[in-house]
């Protein structure tokens, strides 16, 4: 457990900020929905959320053929909206329309050791995996640092990511820690922190000092936790003062960039039509706006338990890709009947698949309806993104004022 600068991630949920991005590299499918999007839709009611189209990140791998990015951006936003991401709950925007991400990336790059980037596992992995692309670029090496800038620009507390992205959040934490260590000592920090403590009132200030001493002199972590709770409950101090007091508590400087936590996205239970992971490159997807006729065709032609050659051959659900879909779409009662029917050859595979077809169509119908509304009204979609971008810029600008000041860039 980190005890230096994770003050933000210890705030109650509704005060915490969540930031996440998605690269626009094609249209979204059920795998995205059951993994990322369903999670976002839930989070938007619990946290202050910032969700963005990571077009610069897409460019790091698609710089030679950026047209797919251009055509995917709006489609992806429509998919988000269709899936239930709600622009009145979450700010949704496009990364490249908030230049503060780039500015912060540049500034962070000055103090990020090259070795930290070289040892991020995705760096070598992706270069190996995407052999057909030349990823020996400056931009690709900087991919996780750009991601750090995305996160730190909003001083996010939580970052919903898949398992493969946890290392990027870890890097973000290290970069933030280094930044605060290097630049968190504003002139007169101690006096300012003492001044801030006084603003909490005599009693609270005294308690704060006592807890601070217990932590610093005796390493009492309970005292640290109590002091943090005390700071969180203060209504009368400014954000800046609160951060000074958080920093002062632990002997460091002001926390300018708080360390975020990864919020692991539960792995999607949704495999592809062939039982492998659902992915465009395996050609085994059902997209969120798939035509119902296509949905039906794709599911009807799914492979089943290879032992069930004829209708009269008994099967084993455990060996059938369709069964993974039943687990997502069918209730327990129906499912045990279907399993029984499969094992006894009492039902045919098409009878079984019909339940999946119905389930998928039921799930996609409202999405298709919403998507259509947005697809027919590009001005509405643009205005949603415009508005989200404005709110995002406002927040990112606030961070950059402090970052520039801390680095001595205010002339
Ligand atoms: N790298 C992430 C991915 O490939 C996308 C991303 C970019 C992101 N910036 C981010 C995710 C910031 C979370 C926070 O999935
Ligand atoms: Fe798969 Fe269902 Fe056919 Fe059994 S009946 S093999 S579970 S599709």
**pLDDT (tens digit, 9 = 90+) per residue, 118-137?**
999 999 999 998 888 999 99
Query: What residue's CA is closest to ligand 1, atom 15?
Result: 22
What is the whole-number distance in angstroms between the Cα of residue 317 and the centre of ligand 2? 6
The protein residue with its alpha carbon nearest to ligand 2, atom 4, reads: 342
DSSP state of 271: B
Topology of domain 5-183+263-268+378-406 in CATH is Rossmann fold (3.40.50)
Rounded to whole angstroms, the Cα distance separating 215 from 358 reads 59
Helix axes 67-83, 38-46, angle to 10 degrees: 60
The CATH number of domain 289-375 is 3.40.50.1370:
no
In short, whether 325's Cβ falls inside 6 Å of ligand 2 is no
Q: With a 6 A CB cut-off, is 159 part of the ligand 1 pocket?
A: yes
Class of residue 376 by CB neighbours under 10 A (exposed 0-12, middle 13-18, buried 19+): exposed
The confidence score (pLDDT) of residue 6 equals 43
Residue 247 in contact with ligand 2 by CB distance below 6 A: no
**289-375 and 5-183+263-268+378-406 share a CATH fold:** no
Whole-number Cα distances in Å, 286 to 36, 268, 279, 324:
15, 14, 9, 14
36 lines ligand 1 (CB under 6 A): no
Give the pLDDT confidence score for residue 221 in this predicted structure. 85
- Considering only CA atoms, which residue is closest to atom 13 of ligand 1? 20
Separation of 345 CA from ligand 1 center, angstroms?
46
Q: Whose CA is nearest to atom 8 of ligand 1?
A: 21
Q: What is the pLDDT of residue 185?
A: 78
Hey, is 161 helix, strand or coil? strand
What is the 365 CA–ligand 2 centroid distance (Å)?
25
Q: State in Å: Cα 331 to ligand 2 middle.
A: 16
CA of 20 to the centre of ligand 1 (A): 6
Nearest residue by C-alpha to atom 8 in ligand 2: 349
Residues of the chain with pLDDT under 50: 1-7
Give the bridge partners for 145, in sequence order: none
pLDDT of residue 27: 87
Among 309, 322, 334, 354, say which to mutate for ligand 2: greatest number of ligand atoms within 8 Å of CB.
322
Q: How far is the CA of 151 from the centre of ligand 1 (A)?
A: 9
Is the CB–ligand 1 distance for residue 60 below 6 Å? no
| Integer CA distances (angstroms), 256 to 101, 118, 214, 407, in order | 16, 26, 24, 11
Digit-coded pLDDT (tens) for 214-256:
988 888 889 999 999 999 999 889 888 998 999 899 877 788 9
What pLDDT is stored for residue 219 in this prediction? 81
Q: How far is CA 57 from CA 33, 173, 227, 231, 363, in A?
A: 21, 19, 39, 37, 30
pLDDT of res. 266: 82
Ligand 2 contact, 248 CB (< 6 A) = no
Q: Does ligand 2 come within 6 angstroms of the Cβ of 305?
A: yes
- Domain positions in the chain are 5-183+263-268+378-406, 189-250, 289-375
How many whole angstroms from 22 Cα to the centroid of ligand 1?
A: 6
Integer-rounded Cα radius of gyration of the chain: 25
With a 6 Å cutoff on the Cβ, whether 339 touches ligand 2 is: no
Buried b (16+ CB within 10 A) or exposed e, 119-158: ebeebeebeeeeeebebeeeebbbbbbbbbbbbbbbbbbb
Query: Ligand 2 mean position to 296 CA, how many Å?
Result: 16
pLDDT, position 1: 33
pLDDT number for residue 15: 65
152 lines ligand 1 (CB under 6 A): no
Protein residue with least CA distance to atom 7, ligand 2: 317
**Whole-prediction pTM value?**
0.85
């Amino acid at each position: 457990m980190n005890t230096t600068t994770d003050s933000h991630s210890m705030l109650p949920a509704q005060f915490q900020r969540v930031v996440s991005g998605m690269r626009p590299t094609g249209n979204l499918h059920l795998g995205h929905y059951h993994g990322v999007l369903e999670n976002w839709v839930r989070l938007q009611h619990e946290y202050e959320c910032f969700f963005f189209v990571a077009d610069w990140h897409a460019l790091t791998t698609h710089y030679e053929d950026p047209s797919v990015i251009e055509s995917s951006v709006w489609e992806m936003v429509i998919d988000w909206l269709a899936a239930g991401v709600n622009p009145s709950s979450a700010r949704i925007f496009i990364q490249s329309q908030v230049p503060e991400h780039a500015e912060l990336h540049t500034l962070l790059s000055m103090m990020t050791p090259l070795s930290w980037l070289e040892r991020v596992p995705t760096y070598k992995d992706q270069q190996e995996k995407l052999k057909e692309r030349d990823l020996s670029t400056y931009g690709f090496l900087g991919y996780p640092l750009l991601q750090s800038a995305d996160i730190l620009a909003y001083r996010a507390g939580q970052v919903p990511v898949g398992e493969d992205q946890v290392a990027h959040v870890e890097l973000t934490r290290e970069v933030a820690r280094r930044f605060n260590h290097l630049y968190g000592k504003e002139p007169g920090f101690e006096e300012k922190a003492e001044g801030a403590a006084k603003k909490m009132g005599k009693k609270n200030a005294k308690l704060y000092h006592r807890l601070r001493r217990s932590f610093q002199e005796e390493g009492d972590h309970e005292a640290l936790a109590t002091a943090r709770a005390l700071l969180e409950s203060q209504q009368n101090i400014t954000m800046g003062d609160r951060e000074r007091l958080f920093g002062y508590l632990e002997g460091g400087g002001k926390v300018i960039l708080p360390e975020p936590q990864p919020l692991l996205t539960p792995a999607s239970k949704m495999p592809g039509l062939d039982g492998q992971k659902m992915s465009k490159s395996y050609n085994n997807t059902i997209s969120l706006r798939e035509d119902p006729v296509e949905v039906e065709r794709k599911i009807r032609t799914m492979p089943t338990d290879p032992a069930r050659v004829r209708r009269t051959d008994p099967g084993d659900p455990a060996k059938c890709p369709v069964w993974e879909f039943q687990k997502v779409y069918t209730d327990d009662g129906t499912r045990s009947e279907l399993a029984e029917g499969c094992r006894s050859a009492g039902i045919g595979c098409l009878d079984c698949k019909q339940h999946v077809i119905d389930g998928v169509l039921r799930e996609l119908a409202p999405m298709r309806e919403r998507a259509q509304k947005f697809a027919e009204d590009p001005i509405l979609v643009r205005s949603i993104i415009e508005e989200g971008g404005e709110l995002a810029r406002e927040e990112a600008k606030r961070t950059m004022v402090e970052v520039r000041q801390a680095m001595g860039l205010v002339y």
